[in-house]
Amino acid sequence: MPVITAVLGDITTQDVDAIVNAANKAMRGGGGVDGAIHACGGPAILRDCIARFPNGLATGDAGWTTAGDLPAWRVIHTVGPNYRAGQRDRSLLEACYRRALDVADELGARSVAFPLISTGVYGWPRADAIAAAIETIAATRTRVAEVRLVASDEAVYKQIRAAIWLQCPPLVGTGTVGSLFEREPIQYSLRGDPYLWRELRARFADTPLPGDWFTLRTLITDTIAQVVGEPLANRESTPWHDSTAAIHLPEFDPGHGMSAGAVHLPWWAHTGVPILLDRYAALRGSEAVQDD
């Protein structure tokens, strides 16, 4: 399985072996990502499209052309389903990612950058489009080592990153703060909390455990405040079961139900952080016994 990362930036500037273009069936350029790739890559891409795809390309299929003036070596074009026009079969969207990786393997590409296919004018719901991209890439047998999911919008980038950490949690080092968080958290509270749990685990994957619990608590609570946008201390007097204290974060919203994306700060103050501190104390206690 390739390493999947979220990137905030411009897909036309990605220094990878191949970038993926969300093309239309005619394969003659268009708007959005398609237009940007043709504009930045120059007329050589269109000439190659005309030569290689005289009859266009079917929805769900993929093919390659030169990258012209782009930093990438090749452009892999794929045609996503038009959700607004009634093409709502998810397997067509999944096929775009699978076929693009097949083409990358044919080319010998080891690094590939994708946009979120079909989420522009084609209108595929973003949360499901992100899930389809990550699930399909993770399940596809490929020799590609690195896949970037590129977003030019920070909110979309955060949503992709959160979904990657949910589906493909990074490894954490022994003796790190991240090691206090299990890979598959028990969902004690609302739907946003497991996302925050995984985000903290990923952020602390390489952070060494501090020498005392106060420093650890400060590190965790400050990071929660940074992610959520509100200090945990503001909710310490709120009962843990008070659902009105939940804060909605769009990047943690998988799109199902009223509590989607809700982070319940009282739970973190009364339960989540104490669990982590208890684990830290138990670890430090076992180390002291070993030292004796």
Catalytic residue numbers read 34
Residue 279 neighbours by CB distance under 10 Å = 14
- For residues 171 and 201, the answer to whether their CB atoms sit within 8 Å is no
Q: How far apart are CA 53 and CA 47, in angstroms?
A: 10
Q: How far apart are CA 253 and CA 240, in angstroms?
A: 21
Report the first-to-last Cα separation within the chain, whole angstroms.
44
Q: How far apart are CA 290 and CA 234, in angstroms?
A: 39
Alpha-carbon distances of 231 from 71, 75, 218, 227, 265, rounded to whole Å: 43, 45, 11, 10, 9
DSSP label of 208: B
Q: At what angle do helices 126-139 and 90-107 cross, to 10 degrees?
A: 40
Chain mean position to CA 49? 30
